Amino acid sequence: MIISRRSFIKTTGMAATASTFLPGFKFEDTSALFTPIRRGTGTFEGRGGTIGWFVSDESLVLVDTQFPESAAECWEGIQERTDRRIDFLINSHHHGDHTAGNPTLAPHAQVIVAHENVPVLQKAAAERRENQEDQVYADTIFESEWRQNLGDETVRMKWYGPAHTGGDSVTHFENADVAHLGDLVFNRVPAYIDLPGGSDTANWISVLEEIHNDFSDETVFIYGHGNSAFGITGTRADLLEARDFLTALREHVQNGISQGKSADELLVNGLPGFDAWVDPNRPSTLHGRIRSVYMELSK
């Protein structure tokens, strides 16, 4: 069955979130999934974490790879924009919804770049999930910062310390002033917390403030995920919203722990003052985050 993704979303009222995917459907029009931002940068929303791209006569950069099927769709659309191979394929962090498309895109890429913790965490996660054979790892790693001239653009990656995982990079296209944050921000969605993957919610709060200070109100940020009302791009004010939500989540759990409550007793469907963050159809998302923070703070 062939339907247009756009019309499917319209007719069913399904939110065009990054996590939406319909196995078995062939989308006739992938161009609806591409959104240009400025100076050759843009986003691709298929299934999983938002892909960022930079296309010029001199360079092609992709940030994140989603899953094999959507990575193939993305590559199809990119080829309509350029004949180049991928000069730099970037992994913002190791999670499967950002790296499972590596095997699809790696044959078209010169190198895969990531923070040095990414291949390590990806390997450990693959061993836990027993899907080692599906992995392709970054072959170009850096410790704190990596910068590359792309002709009329410069790309810079920076690691701010453990936050969403132990290996999150911010990828900044400096002249466009567009920054891909990976999953450092889930825009108005309770962010996935992955303790074995190195999540550190206290440091995450500091990292969001540090990133906010490093950029300006002109910077356009690309987020790994976002709800349908706020979307997957925005400005640095969103970073402070994400910081405040994480802070409120930690306080809610810490207060409960101090009162001797169990994790089950702390499950709520929303946090006061954060109505936009709750999907009434999926209260379990927040429940999962409360359980993760409970485990983190009980350690």
Binding-site ranges for Zn ion (CB under 5 A): 95, 183
Q: Measured from the CB atom, is 19 or 149 closer to Zn ion?
A: 19
Q: Measured from the CB atom, is 182 or 234 closer to Zn ion?
A: 182
Q: Measured from the CB atom, is 30 or 187 closer to Zn ion?
A: 187
Cβ 100 to Zn ion shortest distance, Å: 12
Q: Measured from the CB atom, is 56 or 66 closer to Zn ion?
A: 66
Q: Measured from the CB atom, is 95 or 252 closer to Zn ion?
A: 95
3-state secondary structure the chain: CEECHHHHHHHHCCCCCCCCCCCCCEECCHHHHEEECCCCEEEECCCCCCEEEEECCCCEEEECCCCHHHHHHHHHHHHCCCCCCECEEECCCCCHHHHCCHHHHHHHECCEEEECHHHHHHHHHHHHHCCHHHCCCCCEEECCEEEEECCCCEEEEEECCCCCCCCCEEEEECCCCEEECHHHCEECCCCCCCCCCCCCHHHHHHHHHHHHHHCCCCCEEECCEECCCCCCEECCHHHHHHHHHHHHHHHHHHHHHHCCCCCHHHCCCCCCCCHHHCCCCCHHHHHHHHHHHHHHHHC
Cβ 20 to Zn ion shortest distance, Å: 17
Q: Measured from the CB atom, is 186 or 294 closer to Zn ion?
A: 186
Q: Measured from the CB atom, is 49 or 256 closer to Zn ion?
A: 49
* Residue 156: burial class (beta carbons within 10 Å; 0-12, 13-18, 19+): middle
